[in-house]
A and B are shown apart, each in its own frame.
Chain A
Amino acid sequence: ETGVTQTPRHLVMGMTNKKSLKCEQHLGHNAMYWYKQSAKKPLELMFVYSLEERVENNSVPSRFSPECPNSSHLFLHLHTLQPEDSALYLCASSQDAGGSAVKLFFGSGTQLSVL
């Protein structure tokens, strides 16, 4: 198993659909993250979980709802998205969430298209 696995790799959904993105890490890390990568914009941090507690929520719209049932799994539940939410959604994990030299391990991402 690779370090951080994301499913699905590609997702097309309508604005009224409800879908979920899944992330699983096999590295024994304590922190997990959701990032959004849009064309022509830097990577944007969405949520951070440390030891299954949400410690960061960067003013993300409520149509994005994260869930971290344990330290190995992270979900991003999506509902009533907008076309501008189309992007690559990346999951990452790290040994710890704080400190000056956190090393992020990323999954391959879910390419989301909202029609």
Chain B
Amino acid sequence: EVQLVQSGAEVKKPGESLKISCTASGYSFTSYWIGWVRQMPGKGLEWMGIIHPGDSETRYSPSFQGQVTISVDKSISTAYLQWSSLKASDTAMYYCARLSRAAAVNPFDDWGQGTLVTVSS
């Protein structure tokens, strides 16, 4: 069974850094693209980017390029989403998700439970 388990909720101040995680199990981690989706409070889904754990090729949405960094640690089957300087507008639920097949042209199929990030002074 594919499982994506995300790290717990975070409360941070503006300007602080943050790295949240998504640990995968139940499949070959290096064979499937994995990515991140933002959902701001009461709003819709926003595609942030994806990474291939096999070679760390990363594709970002222009809306998030330069604002966040997506990375992986193959040795522990974990993907990360990080910020160097948080803003209040980064307050959202963040989901990790795996593409349904090995190629990049596939939808997200399996999802993590979400990590709530709250940024407030």
Q: Bound pair: A and B?
A: no
